[in-house]
Amino acid sequence: MVSIEGMTEFWDRLFGAQPDPPPLLVLLTGLVALLVVATRLPWRIARNAITIAHEGGHALVALLTGRKLHGIRLHSDTSGLTLSAGRPTGLGMVLTLLAGYLAPPLVGLGGAWLLAGNRITLLLWIAVILLLAMLVMIRNVYGALSLVVTGGAVLAVSWYASPQVQAAFAWTGVWFLLLGGVRPVVELQRLRSRGGMPASDADQLAGITPLPAFFWVVLFGLVNLAVLVAGGLLLAGPLLAGIGITW
């Protein structure tokens, strides 16, 4: 039986603020995330986290707009598929298609906001809860394994790691979501220019709206860049304060 003292300790640990991270940690974690995004093999491995956020964005908005969610698949080539039923056109479908490419940096922005308040443990536990919620809708073995491994790693860090390791893990992950949301948009347009991905989110949006696919690709890119700047400013707070800049 859990004691009141134990529950209080857990509650304080979950919602309490951790110490400000060293400015050097903020800088180094951002550089590590940038290196992963910019380097071929690390990106190929880590991109699975972007796919999880991408498909999670489709699924969440589908549910919020009244569509019936049939399931989510994650594949070993870092692609994914979210199936929902409802009207094939209309605002709900537009928002569902929009959500995929915008979700990773927007999730990163939410994480940056929590880290700006030093709520590191809370951020990690929210990530675990979201991964568990998404696991319910996974419809293939690789997808389930990906979420279990990812969620297990986050949970282990949140529960067993030192505050310094938690901070490094959280800042790197959030930087990665912010930076990693931009590269898929660039890759999308490159593939489209070569005739690839004819059923991409942008092309599907073009099929149900009067606007061309290139408009939607540009919109993805501009929104993700704006979110990257906003999230970067939140994350860089300790670094800027360390050199005497406040905002």
Residues of the chain with pLDDT > 70, as a percent, come to 90
User: Model pTM?
Assistant: 0.92
- Mean local confidence (pLDDT), 67-84: 95
- The torsion defined by the Cα of 13, 17, 18 and 23, in degrees rounded to 10, comes to 160
For residue 143, tell me if it sits in a domain.
yes
pLDDT tens digits along 110-140: 999 999 999 999 999 999 999 999 999 999 9
Range of the domain at 172: 24-242
State residue 21's pLDDT score. 87
Structural domains counted in the chain: 1
Higher pLDDT: 1 or 171? It is 171
Residue-averaged pLDDT of the chain? 92
Q: In the block, which residue shows the tokens 């940038």?
A: 34
For residue 9, tell me if it sits in a domain.
no
Asked if 59 contacts 137 with a C-beta cutoff of 8 angstroms, the reply is yes
State residue 242's pLDDT score. 63
Rounded to 10 deg, the angle between the 213-235 and 163-180 helix axes is: 150
- Mean local confidence (pLDDT), 149-159: 94
Residue 122 makes CB contacts below 8 A (sequence gap 6+) with 14, 15, 114
For residue 198, tell me if it sits in a domain.
yes
For residue 17, tell me if it sits in a domain.
no
Start-to-end CA span in the chain (Å): 47
For residue 65, tell me if it sits in a domain.
yes
Band (pLDDT 50/70/90 cuts) for residue 11 is low
For residue 11, tell me if it sits in a domain.
no
pLDDT tens digits along 36-57: 999 999 999 999 999 999 999 9
For residue 178, tell me if it sits in a domain.
yes
For residue 237, tell me if it sits in a domain.
yes
pLDDT tens digits along 214-229: 999 999 999 999 999 9
